[in-house]
Amino acid sequence: MTSNVTVENTTAALPGLVAAGVLLGAVGVGVEGSGLATPAVLALAAIIAPLVGAALVPVTARAGDRARAWFATLVGTLTGVLTLALVPQALEATGSESVHYSVSWAAAVDVSFGLYLDILGVTMAAIAGVVGALVLLFSTRFMEREDGLTRYYALTLLFVGGMIGFGLSDSLVALYAFWEVLGLCSMGLIAFWLRDRTSTRAGMKAFVVTRFGDVGLLAGIAVLYAHTGTFSVQETIALAEAGGVPTWVLAWVGGLFVLAAVGKSAQFPLHVWLPDAMEAPTTSTALIHAACMVNAGIYLLARTRPLFESVAWWHTLVLAVGTATAFLAAVLATRENDFKRALAYCTISQLGYVFAALGLTHGLVPATAHLLSHSLFKALLFLGAGAVIYEIGGSVHKHVDMFEHRGIGSRQQMPVTNLTFLVGILALIGVPGFNGFWTKELILGTGLHGSPIEVAAGAVLAVTAVLTVVYSLRIYVLVFTGEPSTDAGRVPIRMAVPLFVLAVLTLGSWAAVPSFSQALAETVPARAVETYTLSSFVDHVVTTSTLALTGTVLVAGAVGFRYRAAIAGVTPTFVTSILDRRYGFDDLYLRSVGAYAWVASRSRRLQRGHTNSTVAAIALAFAAGLAVLVAL
């Protein structure tokens, strides 16, 4: 397939481009006249532009399909530029200089919308803005054959605005509101193909499972406000550090926030929604379920981590959950044959690495650095998968069995996709020179040089790294090497550009870690933030022991891949059965839902039964209870 740019195509896109220009101009005039400092103006514009753009997508759709697509893409691109413009200020700011702006919503209960523009929040916003822009550009060609694109582009822009708002909010109320926006957009895009029952069920499953985490976050916020009287994250942290919040309160809130993060970031045992979320368009998966929304739970813990320094068990809990998730999901990834679902289990495993790092004493920089690396190389991998799906032909809503489509992405057929996907795979494996190597080794090194429990977790994560090599090689060899079983062509330019940009970022983003660590130490009130210069970072990571560990992992992974069939042959039957059922979590949850439905069906008799019999039953129960009380 080739990409042809014609005068008609360009002309059809002009209404969308004009509408986007008018929108961004209006946003700029509105925030410029607000009297805010420049960083706050940029931040508000970055939040408002995609939200307003989402509302205007149906209007631009009247001008045609291309106008709608290019309007959304231009709004997304300018949003990405706005978020990147915040980075220099965030890198230079200290704790006292970082922008902290709030506007009161309801003074009677101290509800306000606050912005806190430090490097941690700005990084999350920049990931959403940049990856969002690239995904929207990719979508202009990838999704062009599909129906329902007004809903698709509106939900995508709404998600980008929600993710940026979530990253930059200092108000817990605003943070929760944006958190809910993310969940709503995720459900809507997973269930994008409304006539497909599998798709709609997957969307509902994601919504229901993540609600457990949502309730945890809401309850935690309520408990915090009841004992602090403020919704400001920074004010709450200051109170906790001054001893103004009882430890038992922080313990409860810490547990509730971990529950929230486990749900949103797909950690065990609430991970079950993410593999099914692969029903979403692959572009949505790259943005929401690889690069952004799944980061939200981890970002919540990173942002509020200083609150829980005095809670002895909190770090151990986070470390245990993350380590278990990383290992268990990696095992499942080695057995999954569906292309996107294999990448989904890979995502769960890598998020487990980040989750575990947050539980390490000195793990804040390694965790957030690997979160950035993962966002880039995983978005690259999913868009690469999207390119393969696109070239198969027909609707892009399809499952790709890696054995049925062996070699479809071979260098002869899809050279651009093959090369860029290889970059993502090498970063995922942790080959020296790619961003995944620097940040993953930072996690492993921090763990293996910590306390005994951290050393144990580091050892498990090292074994997980071996499994990562196995499933990564398996994916690449099956889909991108060998004799093609299906014909395919070169990807169109609008899909190739995002792949190249993400590949370049995957190669070079590690160099930002030293500056990131220095800015983080200045603006995050934490007691254990290690800082680096570029030279000290290289010296810290590239050591004899690190290279020996990396070499051992790569060799062991290659051996495991080579003899994977023999290993599977000697695996006990009961273990294979457990793995085939994916540890039985789905079965357990389905039984629980079935039991709840049974109770609900029986209890409806109280509402739908005959009045006389219902009243008689209530009277009889009351009399029996009264008799018991009298007897006592």
Task: Give residue 106's pLDDT.
Answer: 54
% the chain with pLDDT above 70: 85
Alpha helices per DSSP H over 229-292: 233-241, 247-264, 273-276, 282-286
- Do the beta carbons of residue 172 and residue 221 sit within 8 Å? yes
In Å, how far from its chain's centre is CA 26?
31
Q: Pick the most confident of 31-45, 476-490, 538-552.
A: 538-552
Query: Each residue of 294-307: pLDDT tens digit?
Result: 999 999 999 999 99
Count CA atoms closer than 13 A to 521's CA, side-chain side.
15
The model's confidence at residue 46, banded by pLDDT at 50, 70 and 90, is very high
H helix or E strand, kind and range, residue 350? helix 339-358
Task: Give residue 403's pLDDT.
Answer: 87
Task: Give residue 5's pLDDT.
Answer: 38
Place of tokens 């680096």: 532
- Cβ burial, residue 456 (10 Å; 0-12/13-18/19+): middle
DSSP string of 124-141, one letter each residue: HHHHHHHHHHHHHHHHHH
% the chain with pLDDT above 90: 50
Q: Is the pLDDT of residue 10 over 70?
A: no
- Do the beta carbons of residue 519 and residue 88 sit within 8 Å? no
Measure the CA–CA gap between 242 and 240, rounded to whole angstroms: 5
End-to-end CA distance of the chain: 83
In this structure, the number of other CB atoms found within 10 A of the CB of residue 34 comes to 11
Count CA atoms closer than 13 A to 293's CA, side-chain side.
33
Least confident of 307-321, 337-351, 486-500: 486-500
Least confident of 246-255, 312-321, 428-437, 587-596: 587-596
The model's confidence at residue 189, banded by pLDDT at 50, 70 and 90, is very high
> What mean pLDDT comes out for the span 598-607?
64
| 100 vs 174: which has the higher pLDDT | 174
| 31 vs 68: which has the higher pLDDT | 68
> What mean pLDDT comes out for the span 337-363?
93
Task: Give residue 505's pLDDT.
Answer: 95
In Å, how far from its chain's centre is CA 292?
4
Query: Each residue of 204-263: pLDDT tens digit?
Result: 999 999 999 999 999 999 999 999 988 888 889 989 888 888 999 999 999 999 999 999
> What mean pLDDT comes out for the span 552-563?
84
Nearest to 445 by CA among 324, 546, 326, 551: 546
Amino acid type, 220: G
Task: Give residue 371's pLDDT.
Answer: 93
Task: Give residue 533's pLDDT.
Answer: 85
- Cβ burial, residue 490 (10 Å; 0-12/13-18/19+): middle
Task: Give residue 630's pLDDT.
Answer: 67
DSSP string of 443-465, one letter each residue: HHHHHHTS-HHHHHHHHHHHHHH
Q: Is the pLDDT of residue 525 over 70?
A: no
The model's confidence at residue 409, banded by pLDDT at 50, 70 and 90, is confident
Instruction: Retrieve residue 490's tokens.
Output: 């070169």
Query: Each residue of 70-95: pLDDT tens digit?
Result: 999 999 999 999 999 999 988 887 65
| 503 vs 407: which has the higher pLDDT | 503
Least confident of 345-354, 370-379, 398-407: 398-407
Q: Is the pLDDT of residue 503 over 70?
A: yes
Length of the chain: 632
In Å, how far from its chain's centre is CA 579?
25
Instruction: Retrieve residue 595's tokens.
Output: 């039991």
The model's confidence at residue 563, banded by pLDDT at 50, 70 and 90, is confident
Least confident of 6-10, 305-309, 530-534: 6-10
Task: Give residue 87's pLDDT.
Answer: 92
The model's confidence at residue 33, banded by pLDDT at 50, 70 and 90, is very low
Task: Give residue 343's pLDDT.
Answer: 95
Instruction: Retrieve residue 331's tokens.
Output: 């095992």
Query: Each residue of 132-154: pLDDT tens digit?
Result: 999 999 999 999 888 889 999 99
What residue spans define the domains of the chain? 361-369+387-580, 583-626
Least confident of 25-34, 212-221, 361-370: 25-34
